[in-house]
Amino acid sequence: MEERKRSKGWCGWLLVAIVAATVAVSIFILVKKKGHHSDSGAAPVPGPPGAITQKYANALKLAMQFFDVQKSGKLVNNEIPWRGDSALKDGSEANLDLSKGMYDAGDHMKFGFPMAFTATVLSWAILEYGDQMKVVNQLEPAQDSLKWITDYLINAHPSDNVLYIQVGDPEIDHKCWERPEDMTEERPLTQVNTSTPGTEVAAETAAAMASASLVFKSTDPAYSSLLLKHAKQLFTFADKYRESYSISIPEVQNYYNSTGYGDELLWAASWLYYASGDQSYLDYVTGQNGKAFANWGSPTWFSWDNKLAGTQVLLSRVTFFGSKDTSNSDSLQNYRKTAVAVMCGLLPKSPTTTSSRTASDLIWVSEWNTLQHPVASAFLAVLYSDYMLTSQTAKLSCNGHSYRPSDLRNFAMSQADYVLGNNPMKMSYLVGYSNNYPKYVHHRGASIPADATTGCSDGFMWLNSTKPNPNVAVGALVGGPFLNETYIDSRNNTMQVEPTTYNSALIVGLLSGLVTTSSVVQSFT
């Protein structure tokens, strides 16, 4: 009896020792995993949109309103009290209705090249983050603003090989300072056609229509089909008659000069692949045209002029979520590798990080329209982060150093937070956000009282006024800070205080990606 008790006691202690050892080993492994965070497994796949981040929700609602500020034509359900109908006769000289569309910046020009880019980026944002926009009641406003532009683009393309790319003469327009509702000066039209081609502007317009066709595919199938038809025609025109519009129409060099059309051809073909499902468009970007124009291995900045980085991220989607036969193509992997190089250049602790930054780590590339590049870069980063999360891709490698999706998202948030006031000036560069934002925005409609009566030239008294704008250009994203992170809020300081419509599309995309916790990436089709 005594011997059995001793035996039981010995076995009990052995069991305790084994359990204790197991617990110790488990703790050791857990601590080791935490100490080597970058080497652990993939983060969980995100589900439906999660908790709302209120500061981004508030900023998104404001940013969306700038599209209403910029609308031309007969306004519908206008919620901007100081705006009214304008440019109702645009296009009449060609028997076209070009009254819709949006003014480019603080002036009253309709430049087709950046306007089409606005539509493409806004479509991309809706396609990726429409579920998150919907949670904060911004999906319908985004779709309405997109359609305001695509209605214009459809009318600007009256036949297969003709596209009207500009309404107004910049030289005439810039000699006036008046509200758009009071314009009386001539607004001539500029077109590209077979004798004066414009590959980049035709291809960008094709990209806008193809991407928008996906946005409206379920809600308005007839409109979606019409957009896709125009997109295909414009891409064929752009590709067949290859010439830069900056060469065909030298006057455009003073405003939106293009540095090449190869990026727009790849960008448009990529969107047409998604919109149509036609393999020939994927063959286009992975074949000889990819070799000629993709500049694989050399990361670039995403902007209205250069679409390569956007194309690389967009085509990475195929490698993350496409069929195995498609996604394993060497050319597609080259796009993805270059997209990774873009991401590595953005991550502040990466060994290949860019030196194009301010002291506070804002991406800074150009003194004109400074904020375009950090916002565009952050938009691409949050997209790529969500592609990684959804596909269970644990990390990306930058010269042997590993980074997780959360690192990309943190970078994106840092750029958004800078814009919203986390900067040395303690100023929000998004007009209307917080109490400290630009009050002297270079914007004609905002600078002139709605009840003022001015002509073309006497309105300059409002440009030169020392008083803040009487109207708030709500949601405008101004040019931004200098490299030394200073900002001079003066209406004549065009370089820093003028907003642009395409910057609004980029900040809407970025904020839509951040407005809730990461959302699972869904199919476009």
- Residues annotated catalytic, as ranges: 442
Task: Give the residues across from 403 on adjacent strands.
Answer: 396
Q: Which residues of 445-472 are buried (b: 16+ CB within 10 A; e: fewer)?
A: bbbbeeeeebebeebeebeeeeeebebb
Alpha helical stretches, state H, 322-459? 324-327, 330-346, 372-390, 405-419, 444-447
Question: What is the C-alpha to C-alpha distance for residues 440 and 447, in angstroms, rounded to an integer?
Answer: 8
Residue for token pair 């309405």: 144
Inter-helix orientation angle 112-135/139-155, to 10°? 160
Contact 245, 192 (CB under 8 A): yes
Q: CB-based burial of residue 37 (10 Å sphere; 0-12 exposed, 13-18 middle, 19+ buried)?
A: exposed
In sequence order, the β-bridge partners of residue 163 are: 192
Helical axes 308-321 vs 279-286, angle rounded to 10°: 120
Which among 74, 217, 99, 73 has a CA at the least distance from the CA of 164?
99
Rounded Cα distance, 470 and 19, in Å: 74
The closest alpha carbon to 401, from 361, 328, 356, 348, belongs to 348
Q: Are 380 and 342 in contact (CB under 8 A)?
A: yes
Which helix (H) or strand (E) segment holds residue 211: the answer is: helix 199-215
CA distance 339 to 299: 7
Contact partners, residue 171, CB within 8 Å, separation at least 6: none
63 exposure class (CB count in 10 Å sphere: 0-12, 13-18, 19+): buried
SS3 track for 83-117 = CCCECCCCCHHHCCCCCCCECCCCCCCEEHHHHHH
The string of DSSP letters for 272-337 reads HHHHH--HHHHHHHHSHHHHHH--TT-----SSS--HHHHHHHHHHHHHHS-HHHHT-HHHHHHHH
> Which structure tokens are listed for 208?
């806008």
State how far the Cα of 191 lies from the Cα of 71, in Å rounded to an integer. 21
Show the tokens assigned to 355: 């030196």
